[in-house]
Structure formats: structure tokens, C-alpha cells
Chains A and B, each alone.
Chain A
Amino acid sequence: GESVGLHLPTLSVQEGDNSIINCAYSNSASDYFIWYKQESGKGPQFIIDIRSNMDKRQGQRVTVLLNKTVKHLSLQIAATQPGDSAVYFCAENGNAGGTSYGKLTFGQGTILTVHP
């Protein structure tokens, strides 16, 4: 389910199910998007990225979809495992380009909980 305001959106799934995490971004000029996974007390870990000239990119068990028309990004995780439980953030670079690919604006994050 989702919640607004002070609480992060949450998604609870059973082990083996597919998970879809959504993100709306604000800057239509952004040309680079990244999904990160953050476990408690740790720094963000890169999952997958996509550039604005693409609408889909696949990795191992993960797929990112980009819809520039509605400024929407999603992360699909296939066969979700308990080890996938974490907070997931989307991030955009605001068309900073060049050496400033690192200047990111993060989404609010989604808590994914995978039940065995």
C-alpha cells in the first residue's frame, strides 16, 4: 500500500512474487535516472540506470521502465527474495551531464518488505 505525508510508501510481497516500485520525477530536463537500494545503516547501492533515450532496460532480475511523457519511472524485481528487503530510491540527474552525473535529486523512497 501507499501512504503520504511523513511516512515512506511501503510495499509488502511474498517471496517469489514480482515487485513493482514506482517513482514520479519532477524535472523534465533530466536525462539520466538511477535506482538505488539502501539497507538500514548503509549507503545507497546501485541497482540499475537508464538514460532518457531509452524506455526500458533490463538487468539481472531487475527491469527499469521510463515514461518521459508522464515523468514516471518504475523498477520491477522478478522473483523477489527476502534479501531484497530494503528502501529503494529513484534518482535523477537533472540534465547536469558531463562530470556532474553525480549531482542527483532523490525520490522519497519506498520500503520493500519481502516475507518468506
Chain B
Amino acid sequence: GAVVSQHPSRVICKSGTSVKIECRSLDFQATTMFWYRQFPKKSLMLMATSNEGSKATYEQGVEKDKFLINHASLTLSTLTVTSAHPEDSSFYICSAGLAGGPPIFGPGTRLTVL
């Protein structure tokens, strides 16, 4: 079946550094991918829609200059957290899906900013 992978699975960084998270669709192409953020014991919150070959669409309240999204190919979207701070520590999850079907989620990336 269709699988979505993420890399890295967990990352620890110092405050002020930037971190890149990759989301890949395996065995299928995804013109659209989605990035979510999940704080402990909370639900998933959509951050942005990643569009292949065009700009990402951000949800209200999400800073586009802070969370850079690049969708350069039909199987890869990247989320870069720029100048990360402790409040950016969270579980970042991407999803993709075949048209008309349920979105498939990646395994998530645990970001810890010290």
C-alpha cells in the first residue's frame, strides 16, 4: 500500500538554529501534501498545504517566514523551521494521499529545541 515517510524521526537542536524535516511519498506521487503540528496530549493542527511547483498555503496564525515549505518534486515536501525556539518544540506530521482517498500520514518528527 501507499506509504508516507518522514526524516528525521527525531531531532534536537539549539535555540536559534534551523531544522529541516522531509516528507516523502513512497510508490506514489503527491501533488499536494499537508503539514500538521501536534503538542503533547493535543490534537493535530493543520499548519499548511504544500503544493508541488507552487507556493504553500498557510493556515491562519502560521508564520510563513518561520515555517518554510518547499515541494520541489512529486514525492518530496520539506518543512524548515527557521530560528527555532523552545516553543517550536512539537511533533510535526505530514500527510499525502491519492485523489479521493483517505490521507496517509507519515510517522512524525519529534522536534526538541533546547
The chain A residue with its CB closest to the CB of B101 is A101
Separation of A40 and B46 alpha carbons in the complex (Å): 19
Residues of chain B lying within 8 A (CB to CB) of residue A109: 43
The chain B residue with its CB closest to the CB of A90 is B43
Check B89 for interface membership: any CB of A closer than 8 A.
no
Query: Closest CB of chain B to A25's CB: distance in Å?
Result: 13
Interface size on A, residues (CB 8 A): 25
The chain B residue with its CB closest to the CB of A6 is B41
Residues of chain B lying within 8 A (CB to CB) of residue A36: 105
Residues of chain A lying within 8 A (CB to CB) of residue B32: 99-100, 102
Check A34 for interface membership: any CB of B closer than 8 A.
yes
Contact B107 A43 (CB under 8 A): yes
Separation of A101 and B87 alpha carbons in the complex (Å): 30
Contact A102 B96 (CB under 8 A): yes
Contact A43 B108 (CB under 8 A): yes
The chain A residue with its CB closest to the CB of B49 is A103
Query: Closest CB of chain B to A101's CB: distance in Å?
Result: 6
Additional 20 contacts, C-beta under 8 A, given A41-B110, A104-B95: A34-B103, A41-B108, A42-B108, A43-B4, A43-B107, A44-B93, A44-B105, A46-B102, A99-B32, A99-B99, A101-B100, A101-B103, A102-B49, A102-B95, A102-B103, A103-B46, A103-B49, A106-B43, A106-B45, A108-B43
